[in-house]
Amino acid sequence: MNKLIFEKHVPNSNAFSLPPGMIPEGDIQESIPEQFLRRAAAALPEISEVEAVRHFTELSTRAYGVDSGFYPLGSCTMKYNPKINEWAARIPGFAGLHPYQPEATVQGALQLYYEMQEMLAEITGMDAFSLQPAAGAHGEMAGVMIIKAYHMNRQDQPRTKMMVPDSAHGTNPATANVVGYDVIEVKSNERGLVDLDDLRAKMSDEIAGLMLTNPNTLGLFEEEIKEIAAIVHEGGGLLYYDGANLNGVIGVARPGDMGFDVIHVNLHKTFGTPHGGGGPGSGPVGVKARLQEFLPTPVAVKNGDSYGLDYNRPLSIGKLKNFYGNFGVIVKAYAYIKSLGADGLKEACEHAVLNANYLRHRLRESYNIPLDRICKHEFIANSRKQAEPNGISTLNIAKRLIDYGYHPPTIYFPLIVSEAIMIEPTETESKARLDDFVQVMKDIAREAVEAPELLLNAPQQTAIKRVDEVTAARKPVLKWGDH
Ligand SMILES: *Cc1c(COP(=O)(O)O)cnc(C)c1O
């Protein structure tokens, strides 16, 4: 256990040997410049095939994912990834496509691509979509570039600022900045929603738009969204919808109907495809009709009975990703939508909201819930009750959850709630699972009073115990020995 692969080195053991004569002597050496020629063998571990397989299999059992347990990571929608989606993405006709194949030979793929654009438009109340962006943040960048292109095209140019609420995800101000806007922060009121007075005061003809998440990062629906949209639009700005929290309203309310002009959705959140390490993401960007011509290319089009990719869009912000974007992810999300149908999507939303409210209700006795009212798909607790008398912080609670075999929720976000614990159970968890999680959270609350050292020293049941987070971040050790 815990040995690095270098430490498993057994001289002269071999996982694979090339047939003799496969590497022609001489030729290669002659083509490599003298200074790059290796003089001595590389210090790589020598290890047999079976030991290499065991090594990586053992490592894989240390990774925690939605397939190994409950993963209540707020703002991330870590829902179960239905296996039928993986089957669909592996169909040879999709998996084996070459991106340079002529359109006539990939009509099925283009039909799926086109229908996906149409379905996302219908689900979100927008008019057109591009499936190019590779992640939520990438979709945000596309969306904000579209906003910029729109103002430039109208020669409405002193608009140099983008408004972002103080509850926003960090990618929102970062995106605005990358696209060249100064960020103007809009305050939240005591109910955790956009402060309309502050919004009105900050709206001006220098403002390009407002980026908003609804439900917001506190899991709360922006009840005055119509008024917010009116303020931004009357001031000549556009409204951007960060679709990361779409799971909280999908099938029930549509951003397009709320007044949003540009939107991204995260297929790896709302539409059940794996996140990050489990596969690449996808962040399609959608717009209302008047912004259609700025969408990134290509956009799938239908001509009669055939499908094609349209690159000829002179006002487009351009191409953001190679070929089709992350096509396999799009196939998985397509399978997700088709297998649930309209009713199923609505039901998924309702169960996500029910599960979050159930947890909020059952945890409120043991944990402080700063904005304790009906939420959407996630809610915020914190460690205020545990801070006294033993100085237990949110970090300690999160670490202790690991000992119980649970992935901790998102912590210390959003920034406007101190010591935040952001819990998003998702619709795919059963009541039995939620009850078990509640029991563990209650046990931890009790330990915080009776045996605080269990929290302060957690985790103890893992391969790597409590780490010094600051040193780990500032001085990471990323290599072995002197190699
Ligand atoms: C996850 C998230 C993003 C960024 O999406 P990625 O796909 O991780 O790039 C943006 N905003 C919010 C609110 C999010 O939760």
Tell me how far the alpha carbon of residue 11 lies from the centroid of ligand 1, in angstroms.
47
- Closest-lying ligand 1 atom to the alpha carbon of residue 283: 7
What pLDDT is recorded for position 31? 78
Query: CA angle 81-67-267, nearest 5°?
Result: 25
Lowest pLDDT segment from 26-30, 83-87, 167-171, 416-420: 26-30
Give the residue, out of 71, 73, 75, 247, with the most ligand 1 atoms within 8 A of its beta carbon, to mutate for a pocket test: 75
Give the residue, out of 140, 167, 169, 217, with the most ligand 1 atoms within 8 A of its beta carbon, to mutate for a pocket test: 169
* CA-proximal residue: ligand 1, atom 14 (nearest): 244
Span 203-249, pLDDT tens digits? 999 999 999 999 999 999 999 999 999 999 999 999 999 999 999 99
SS3 content of the chain, % helix, strand, coil (to 5): 40, 10, 45
Q: Which residues contact 77 (CB under 8 A, 6 or more apart)?
A: 244, 245, 247, 266, 269, 270, 377, 424, 426
* CA-proximal residue: ligand 1, atom 7 (nearest): 136
Tell me how far the alpha carbon of residue 185 lies from the centroid of ligand 1, in angstroms.
18
Closest CA to 392 of 437, 462, 453: 453
Phi, psi torsion values for 403, nearest 5 degrees? -60, -30
Q: Specify the length of the chain in residues.
A: 483
Phi, psi torsion values for 395, nearest 5 degrees? -60, -40
pLDDT grade for 105, boundaries at 50, 70 and 90: very high
Span 316-356, pLDDT tens digits? 999 999 998 999 999 999 999 999 999 999 999 999 999 99
pLDDT grade for 28, boundaries at 50, 70 and 90: low
Q: Is 278 helix (H, G, I), strand (E, B) or coil?
A: helix
Query: Is the pLDDT reported for residue 167 higher than 90?
Result: yes
CA–CA gap between residue 155 and residue 236 (Å, rounded)? 12
What pLDDT is recorded for position 143? 98
Tell me how far the alpha carbon of residue 201 lies from the centroid of ligand 1, in angstroms.
28
Can you name the CATH fold of 341-474? Aspartate Aminotransferase, domain 1 (3.90.1150)
The beta-strand segments (E) located in 159-293 are: 161-165, 182-186, 207-213, 238-242, 262-264, 285-287
What pLDDT is recorded for position 1? 54
Instruction: Tell me what the mean pLDDT of segment 10-34 comes to.
Output: 79
Instruction: Tell me what the mean pLDDT of segment 34-57 comes to.
Output: 89
Instruction: Tell me what the mean pLDDT of segment 367-395 comes to.
Output: 96
- Select the highest-mean-pLDDT range: 95-99, 116-120, 279-283: 116-120
What pLDDT is recorded for position 305? 95
CA–CA gap between residue 273 and residue 329 (Å, rounded)? 7
Give the residue, out of 166, 171, 275, 410, with the most ligand 1 atoms within 8 A of its beta carbon, to mutate for a pocket test: 171
Give the global pTM: 0.92
Instruction: Tell me what the mean pLDDT of segment 185-202 comes to.
Output: 98
Express as a percent the part of the chain with pLDDT over 90.
83
Express as a percent the part of the chain with pLDDT over 70.
98
Query: Is the pLDDT reported for residue 278 higher than 60?
Result: no
pLDDT, the chain, mean? 94
Q: Is the peptide bond before 82 cis (omega within 30 degrees of 0)?
A: no
Tell me how far the alpha carbon of residue 406 lies from the centroid of ligand 1, in angstroms.
22
Strand order in the sheet with 207-213: 128-130, 285-287, 262-264, 238-242, 207-213, 161-165, 182-186
CA 160 to chain centre: 28
What pLDDT is recorded for position 213? 97
Ligand 1 residue neighbourhood (C-beta within 6 Å): 75-76, 135-137, 169, 171, 213, 217, 242, 244-245, 266, 281, 283
Query: Is the pLDDT reported for residue 406 higher than 60?
Result: yes
What pLDDT is recorded for position 109? 97
Q: Answer yes or no: are the C-beta atoms of 359 and 434 closer than 8 Å.
A: yes
Tell me how far the alpha carbon of residue 244 lies from the centroid of ligand 1, in angstroms.
5
Give the residue, out of 211, 240, 269, 422, with the most ligand 1 atoms within 8 A of its beta carbon, to mutate for a pocket test: 269
- Choose the CATH number for 83-340 among 3.40.50.360, 3.40.640.10, 1.10.3720.10, 3.60.20.10: 3.40.640.10
Q: What is the DSSP string of 54-112?
A: HHHHHHHHH---TTTS---BTTT------HHHHHHHH-HHHHT--TTS-GGG-HHHHHH
What pLDDT is recorded for position 38? 84
- Closest-lying ligand 1 atom to the alpha carbon of residue 137: 9
Q: Is 176 helix (H, G, I), strand (E, B) or coil?
A: helix
Instruction: Tell me what the mean pLDDT of segment 5-20 comes to.
Output: 86
Instruction: Tell me what the mean pLDDT of segment 349-374 comes to.
Output: 98
Domain ranges of the chain: 2-60, 83-340, 341-474
Q: Which residue bears the tokens 């347990």?
A: 69
The β-bridge partners of 183 are: 162
CA–CA gap between residue 395 and residue 421 (Å, rounded)? 9
Tell me how far the alpha carbon of residue 414 lies from the centroid of ligand 1, in angstroms.
13
Tell me how far the alpha carbon of residue 145 lies from the centroid of ligand 1, in angstroms.
17
Give the residue, out of 77, 242, 266, 378, with the most ligand 1 atoms within 8 A of its beta carbon, to mutate for a pocket test: 266
* CA-proximal residue: ligand 1, atom 15 (nearest): 75
Radius of gyration of the chain (CA): 26
Tell me how far the alpha carbon of residue 468 lies from the centroid of ligand 1, in angstroms.
27
Q: What are the counts of helices (DSSP H) followed by strands (DSSP E) for the chain?
A: 16, 12
What pLDDT is recorded for position 483? 53
CA–CA gap between residue 245 and residue 268 (Å, rounded)? 12
